[in-house]
Structure 1
Amino acid sequence: MKLLTLLLLLLVGVLIAKPVFFGFRAQKPADYAGTEPAFILEKHLSGPIVAEGIVYGPLGKVTNSFVAQMQGAWADGKGTLAEDFTYSNGASQTRNWTLTKQEGNRFTATAPDVVGEAEGVVSGSTVRLIYKIILPEASGGYTLSATDWMYLAEDGVILNKSEMRMWGIKVAELVATMRPAQTAD
């Protein structure tokens, strides 16, 4: 009985430790220092951007997909990023971020459905953003802890992966691409 209890405790410990030390949450901005191309907020989050992505639920199955039209603008170390989402289930959503550059490679970001300030770090070809987001009432109105990583590819496309957690348990995941939108000349 003692051996079984010990094995169960060991298994629970491994399941808790794995994502913290070996998974998505284990990566740090320093892991990407010096990687190229350099992610420049004012350049890569500016102008018209289109995003396309999918949302995974807590069981790992796709629950929704989306297309988002974005518009970024910068002046004097401050940026705005307006996002208009259209989901495959017919829902729509807008979010307006305000980004403020800080010392070094850090920045903060705010939005109406974000609790307080999001904390961002630019490192090499990546950006990490950590924040708490309040879901729309139609989705339960819960407050989730979010970690976003954006990875800049050579061609200027940004690959975005986000994890949302509640009480430390992953409840949703988002994977998307962001690229400069084609404009009519």
Structure 2
Amino acid sequence: MKSLRSMIAAGVLVPLLLGGLAGCAGTTVDQYRAQQPTLDLRQYFNGTIDGWGMFQDRGGEVKKRFHVVIDAKWEKKDGVDVGTLDEHFTWSDGTTSQRVWTITRQADGRYSGSAGDVVGAADGEAAGNALRWRYVLALPVDGKVWNVDFDDWMYQMDDKVMLNRSEMRKFGIRLGEVTLSFSKR
């Protein structure tokens, strides 16, 4: 086995590290630019939408299931499109919760969002049938609040159905994921 010093001298380690970093680059929303139907948040999230989802821990075990009803509307404020998504959750353990998103469409087609339990602003980018949201959620866990990073992807399947997959991380460590299916009434 070669020592670290001999691997560096032989020029082996640098390509390995660069290859590993390239693998971390991940998927970008631009990859979906040609996919149809074109996702327009203002059009899809307008009216009442039902969603069914689950949270799985990093081992894949389903820890919680939920149903969400979203009452969504958009209006122009100072010439800017602003949406309100009023989400009402019913969890498998019988508890309920609510989150109200305020989403603003930026001039460049990106979106910014805020909600009471979102730390700072959510940043969204859409292309083709996909939307990627990135934000930090203040998540209550066992009497404490954890600030958890969400990498949230939505894919519009047709005019009624959208699929959503979110990966949750804390300190870069994958905690689990949320999977959702939306159906527009």
Given the two structures, how large is their TM-score scaled by the length of structure 2? 0.84
Query: Are 2:138 and 1:124 aligned?
Result: no
Query: Are 2:67 and 1:57 aligned?
Result: no
Query: In the comparison of the two structures, how many residue pairs are matched?
Result: 172
Partner SS for 1:136 = strand
Greater percentage in strand: 2
Q: Which of 78, 94, 103 matches 1:90?
A: 94
Partner of 1:111: 115
Report deviation, 1:18. 8.7
Please give the alpha-carbon distance, in whole angstroms, between the structure 1 residues aligned to 2:113 and 2:53: 22
Partner SS for 2:145 = coil
Query: Are 2:170 and 1:166 aligned?
Result: yes
User: Aligned in 2, Cα 1:58/1:40: closer, same or farther, shift over 3 Å?
Assistant: same
Structure 2: where are the runs of 5+ without partners?
8-12
- What pairs up with 1:64-79 in 2 under 5 angstroms? 64-76=64-76, 77-79=81-83
Preserved contact between residue 105 and residue 123 of structure 1 (Cα < 8 Å): no
Structure 1: where are the runs of 5+ without partners?
none
Greater percentage in helix: 1
Query: Are 2:87 and 1:80 aligned?
Result: no
Query: Which has the larger Rg?
Result: 2
Report deviation, 1:138. 4.1
Taking only aligned residues, the RMSD between alpha carbons, in angstroms, comes to 2.5
Given the two structures, how large is their TM-score scaled by the length of structure 1? 0.84
1:81 corresponds to which letter in structure 2? L
What's the % identity of the aligned pairs? 32
Please give the alpha-carbon distance, in whole angstroms, between the structure 2 residues aligned to 1:151 and 1:117: 21
> Could you give the per-residue CA deviations for residues 88-139 of structure 1, whole angstroms, max 9, x where no partner exists?
1222211000000102220100001001110011111111100000002546
